[in-house]
Amino acid sequence: MFRVPDWLGYEVRHKLEGLRDGFERLGVKDKVSEHPKAAAVIAFALVLLLLSGVVRIVRRVPKPGFRESKRVWFYDLNTDKLFVARGKQVGPIDAPSGPLPNGDPAGVRAHVYSYLRDPNEAERFIAFLEKPDPNANVEDLNPDWNDLKAWSRGRLVKRAGSDTWVAPTSPRGQQLIQQVTHPNMYGQIPIYQRPQ
């Protein structure tokens, strides 16, 4: 069993007695007795200060789940290049290169990831592309990534460079989306990259 050495116990008692003596020399106890209302006001102010600190800390705690960005990545189907647009757009949208040969907009949503927190352009990769299903209702497009089942309704996905769009609930669509959660050979999980 561990026993505190005598010299350490003596030092601790000596320091505590010094603190008690210093507190008594300040006369705080006497001042509180003489001015109880002032002491109550000071105590109330300290409690308010403590509560405001707690509120600030609680507000800073990030909310769990995926947060939609104000700017997101889009992919130009004509040039196979990424560009940035407003986050509320679902796509297809006008791309910098112009429309597709059939006249449709060439910009589709791109989900860009990296295994690093602050990657350069070469360290990012496109996990999959996304566009609304032309046969779905606009109301089906749920932007909430916290509910993947609801998010997948009314959307089509594909890998960049592929010609085939598939439903996210199909086996191929599930494989595309699940690759985002799989670690690489170093055990790193991909991190979603918002545009700067």
Q: Where are the domains of the chain?
A: 6-60, 71-192
- pLDDT tens across 45-57, in order? 999 999 988 888 8
- pLDDT value at position 110? 93
Mean pLDDT throughout 48-69?
72
Q: Render pLDDT for 133-175 as a digit per residue (tens, 0 to 9).
A: 888 776 656 555 566 677 777 889 999 988 899 998 899 998 8
Using CA atoms, how far residue 82 sits from 85, 86, 98, 163, in Å, is 10, 13, 14, 17
- Does the reported pTM lie above 0.75? no
Question: How many angstroms separate the CA atoms of 94 and 57, rounded?
Answer: 42
96-104 mean pLDDT:
94
Alpha-carbon span 113 to 195, nearest angstrom: 11
